[in-house]
Chains A and B, each alone.
Chain A
Amino acid sequence: MLYKIEVENLNAWFGSKHVLKNINMKIKEKAVTAVIGPSGCGKTTFIRCLNRMHEIVPHAKVSGKVLFNGMDIYDEDVDPVQIRRKMGMVFQKPNPFPMMSIYDNVAAGLKLNGIRNKEKLDSIVEQSLKMAILWDEVKDELNKSGASLSGGQQQRLCIARALAVQPEIILMDEPCSALDPMATAKIEGLIRTLTAEYTVIIVTHNMQQAARVSDYTAFLYLGELVEYEATTNIFENPKSELTEKYITGEFG
């Protein structure tokens, strides 16, 4: 099976703080990879390095390579704008555009890319909302503001918005941490269905979620990759003592 992303010697800094130390990882295509670890271990920084969002913060620095479809996204000639288009991102707190309708939220990325044809927009919006398991709930209210939905619905709207531009990878940064259990369950179910088309990388502080949802799990601790295995192996047979301690809840 193909590797969608290959991370080579990735290092990241916030000013002088060395947040990621020499990460090497190969992420499998069309699978869900979870990134777990205690607070401050660098997992959010890690996925933000994958779509070049880390560097927009002042005094942030990155070194190393991230090969996406064989090409290093940190190469000098690469435009981050194009990379971000190919990787959808869902954030911890749902952030729909409140001044736009549900329809316009989903279509936002499409319109940016010059797609104006109403029929095409309609069909992609519907498709994306269906994939995000939100279509039935909002199909009669597409004109309502994006902020008028519940938290869980807003997050699914953000997922639909990310899906609409047909990325190859979906990055999720603790997408359920602001949601209640029912909304969380809906989104976890949704994540499993995404692997038919997409490669999903999800950061989570909830180990049970990682166990439920992912095929592979990476355990980060203090900026270093401690263990990276198939999920069943990490949870049933962790190789490192540190991993075992974290998984059994001894810290973090």
Chain B
Amino acid sequence: MNNYVVRKIKDRLMLIFIFLALVVALIPLFSILGEVIINGSSSVSIDFLTQPTPTVGEAGGGVANAIQGTLLTIGLSSLIGVPIGLMSGIFLSEYGGAKLSTSVRFFNDVLAGFPSIVVGIFGYTLIVLSIGFSVIAAAFALAIIMIPIVTRTTEEALKLVPATVREAAIALGVPQWKTTVSVILSNAKKGIATGILLALARVAGESAPVLVTMGYWRWWFAGLDKPVANLALDIYTFAISPFENWRALGWGSALILVLLILGISMVVRLFTREKY
């Protein structure tokens, strides 16, 4: 049967294509990680981790100021982003049936898909225009990026607490809000913590909103109303510069950033064996 043979050939071809798709999808992953490790590790040294950015043309130097700045920035942003996300997540999971919940969830999802540069512009208009390019503005923009992530992961973590735990608490005569705060939150501790870590990993890698709220900064922390150095933004600045030593710093910074982010992601993955 001619038709049968054609179908068999199509079947074989499509299965090969599907397998190739898998391979093609994974090649960039290995290439990126490989290149970052290979090119970055030649830059990393004690100096690299303890010295600030060198001036143009100067040899040596490091990304210590960028590490300081990044940690400070994401720390500040979590001061705003985590409480809001946490409370929103609690609201959605405990009072999920309320009419308000559907729209909150929906718009959280929408915000999650937003271009981070637009969020950066928002931070610019709200804060930079009054205070100037500053770490506060950047932290604000990053906080907004964090909120949908923390909200969603908190809600999911709370939902996982088995009904039996809730019932036991209520049966003890504990009012619902106390139940939530003490019993359920502590049960969901791990899930919530991993959600926060995920959000931190995400904003640690954000450079577009940092660009428009802080801009490039070469020095150590100099005040909340000033910018700070940022690892992700430095990668951009170094990569497009024409200076060989800055480019090397760029690869080195990329390595640090990748280690930080992937480290967090892997820890999270191992902790949450969710749907594969």
Contact = CB atoms under 8 A, between A and B. Distances in A.
B45 interface: no
A114 interface: yes
A123 interface: no
Contacts of B3: 113-114
A208 interface: no
Interface string B1-34: 0111011100000000000000000000000000
Interface residues of A, number: 6
Contacts of B6: 114
Interface in A96-144: 112-114
B11 to A, nearest CB: 8
A82 B4 contact: yes
Contacts, number: 10
Contacts of A112: 7
A112 B3 CA distance: 9
B147 to A, nearest CB: 38
Contacts of B4: 82, 113
Nearest to A112: B7
A81 B4 CA distance: 10
Interface in B128-146: none
A82 B8 CA distance: 11
Nearest to B2: A114
A81 B6 CA distance: 13
Interface string A75-107: 000010110000000000000000000000000
Contacts of A113: 3-4
Nearest to B4: A82
B267 to A, nearest CB: 31
Contacts of A81: 8
A113 B4 CA distance: 7
B276 to A, nearest CB: 15
A114 B7 CA distance: 9
A113 B7 CA distance: 8
A242 B73 CA distance: 78
A168 to B, nearest CB: 16
A11 B240 CA distance: 68
Interface in B168-211: none
A164 to B, nearest CB: 16
Contacts of A114: 2-3, 6-7
A82 B7 CA distance: 11
A64 to B, nearest CB: 26
Contacts of B2: 114
A82 B5 CA distance: 11
A28 B6 CA distance: 34
B10 to A, nearest CB: 11
Interface in B206-260: none
A240 to B, nearest CB: 44
A226 B107 CA distance: 63
Contacts of A79: 8
A81 B3 CA distance: 13
B7 to A, nearest CB: 7
B67 to A, nearest CB: 48
A114 B10 CA distance: 13
Most chain A beta-carbon contacts within 10 A, residue among B2, B4, B6: B4
Nearest to A79: B8
A190 B8 CA distance: 35
B69 to A, nearest CB: 52
A79 B5 CA distance: 12
Contacts of A82: 4
A79 B1 CA distance: 13
B237 to A, nearest CB: 51
A167 to B, nearest CB: 15
Interface string A55-79: 0000000000000000000000001
Nearest to B11: A81
A34 to B, nearest CB: 33
A79 B7 CA distance: 13
10 contacts: A79-B8, A81-B8, A82-B4, A112-B7, A113-B3, A113-B4, A114-B2, A114-B3, A114-B6, A114-B7
Interchain residue pairs A-B with the least CB separation, the first 3: A114-B3, A113-B3, A82-B4
Given A113-B3, A113-B4, 8 more contacts: A79-B8, A81-B8, A82-B4, A112-B7, A114-B2, A114-B3, A114-B6, A114-B7
